Amino acid sequence: MTVRPIRLFGDPVLRTPADHVTTFDAALRELVQDLEDTVREPGRAGVAAPQIGVGLRVFSYNVGGRVGHVVNPVLSDFAGEQTDEEGCLSLPGMGFETRRSESVVCHGFDQHGEPLVIEGAGFLARALQHETDHLDGRLYIDTLTGDVRRQALRELRRVVPR
């Protein structure tokens, strides 16, 4: 079991789009195991490979007691809207009301290269969107607008060392 340390805001890997996985080999299976071990820590709903310093399009999730992973995810069929407080392991101690789609379909592959489809609603949809954003070099604070965005940026200036 390997629980990997989480990269924090300011680390360039969090702002760099991740590369597509092209080889489904033992190294990928080891990465997936590390991601799943890391997401099993209490209070964690998802961990993307860039958050542990690996620039590949892979994430793990832990929602409703279901732990899984997706390689090369592509989201589609966005429907509805939900707004709830969202946080991020890479921005510890922060949380802001964030709009996301209420439901989404995630297409991708498992660690062996087999296709998979996850239909997510509610919190699972939020987690799938949040983790896929990480793979594109985006953080949830990038989705904020108006007063909530201004508040988040003020908080970032307060907590992030210069």
Binding site, annotated residues for Fe cation: 88, 130, 134
- DSSP code of residue 56: B
> 138 Cβ partners below 8 Å, 6+ apart?
none
**Annotated catalytic residue within 30, 86, 131, 155:** 131
Beta strands in 7-81 (DSSP E): 46-48, 58-63, 66-79
Helices (H) and strands (E) in the chain, counts: 3, 7
Helical residues (DSSP H) of the chain, grouped into ranges: 26-39, 123-135, 146-159
Residue among 100, 61, 65, 62 nearest 81 (CA): 100
Cα separation of 130 and 112, whole Å? 24
Is 131 among the residues known to form the active site? yes
| Catalytically active residues, by annotation | 131
